[in-house]
Amino acid sequence: MPPFECPNCTVGRLVIKKENESWKTPHHEAQAYQELELDHIMGGRYHAFMVCQHANCGEVVSVIGDYLTEHLLLGRDRWDNPIVENDTNITPRAMMPAPHIIKVSPELSAVARNHLVRSFELFWVDIGSCANRIRIFLEAVLDQLGVIREMQRPDGTAYVLNLFQRVNELGAVKPGHEEALHALREVGNVGSHEGDAAVDDVLDCYELLEATLEELLEDKKAKLAAKAAAIRARKGRPAP
Ligand SMILES: [Zn+2]
How many A from CA of 4 to the centre of ligand 1?
Answer: 10
How many A from CA of 50 to the centre of ligand 1?
Answer: 10
Q: What is the pLDDT of residues 78-113, one digit of tens each?
A: 999 889 898 999 999 999 999 999 999 999 999 999
Tallying the residues shown for the chain, one arrives at 240
Q: Is the pLDDT of residue 68 over 70?
A: yes
Measure the CA angle with vertex 193, ends 192 and 194; round to 5°.
105
Instruction: Assign 70 a pLDDT band (cuts: 50, 70, 90).
Output: very high
How many A from CA of 47 to the centre of ligand 1?
Answer: 20
Main-chain phi, psi angles of 224, to 5 degrees? -65, -40
Q: What is the pLDDT of residue 84?
A: 87
Domain boundaries, the chain: 1-99, 100-240
How many A from CA of 49 to the centre of ligand 1?
Answer: 13
Q: What is the pLDDT of residues 114-152, one digit of tens each?
A: 999 999 999 999 999 999 999 999 999 999 999 988 888
Burial of 89 (0-12, 13-18, 19+ CB in 10 A): exposed
Q: What is the pLDDT of residue 137?
A: 94
How many A from CA of 59 to the centre of ligand 1?
Answer: 5
How many A from CA of 114 to the centre of ligand 1?
Answer: 19
More confident residue, 145 or 39: 145
How many A from CA of 144 to the centre of ligand 1?
Answer: 28
**Could you tell me which residues come within 8 angstroms of residue 3 by beta carbon, excluding any fewer than 6 positions away?**
13, 14, 15
How many A from CA of 6 to the centre of ligand 1?
Answer: 5
